[in-house]
Chains A and B, each alone.
Chain A
């Protein structure tokens, strides 16, 4: 099946710094990638939809200036958490869409902001 990778798998950063998370589709081209966030013991919540070559679409309540998404190629989308705060600590998961209805999830990135 299609493989999606995320890097890094874990990151610890200090409050006020920025962190970049990469999502790559390894063996297919994904015109659309999705970014989800999951807080402890909760479900996945969609943050934004990322389309190659265009601006991301953010869900209500997600600050686009804080969570910068760049989908520069058909195999790479990045999420940058700017000026991170402890409340941004979460599990971030991306997925890549293949042929419309199929989505493949990355393994997730655990972000801890101290």
Chain B
């Protein structure tokens, strides 16, 4: 069953603005990952943050993790039209070899 909840479900911003997406989960995790998916395409792995990490950066992406609140956020700075996609968080449990549990996703539209 899904445990992640993304918020907002849909987000529309102007090019150049920052986009923030949030994710909440319910159980203990080993790590949390963010993925991007363009319409009708496969998943693109963006970033992985481990349970003992609080913040991670990769290019224009910044991810935070608050295990006490069981939540994470993904910030995309200086957004571009090409960032238009659906973004999903996925959690990996503390037990290895278990499937990732995906959130419902945020559909981001960046308007040029």
Binding site for B on A (CB under 8 A): 31-32, 34, 36, 41-46, 49, 60, 91, 93, 95, 97, 99-101, 103, 105-108, 110
Nearest-neighbor residue (CB-CB) of A61 within chain B: B1
Number of interface residues of B (CB under 8 A): 22
Find residues 55-112 in chain B having any chain A CB closer than 8 Å to their own CB: 88, 92, 96-105, 107
Q: Secondary structure of the B side of the interface?
A: loop
Does chain A have a CB within 8 A of B43? yes
Binding site for A on B (CB under 8 A): 1-2, 30-31, 40-43, 45, 88, 92, 96-105, 107
30 A-B pairs within 8 Å (CB atoms) are namely: A31-B97, A34-B99, A34-B100, A36-B99, A36-B102, A43-B103, A44-B43, A44-B88, A45-B2, A45-B102, A46-B99, A49-B98, A49-B99, A91-B40, A93-B43, A95-B99, A95-B100, A97-B97, A99-B96, A100-B97, A101-B30, A101-B96, A103-B92, A103-B99, A105-B45, A106-B42, A107-B41, A108-B41, A108-B43, A110-B40
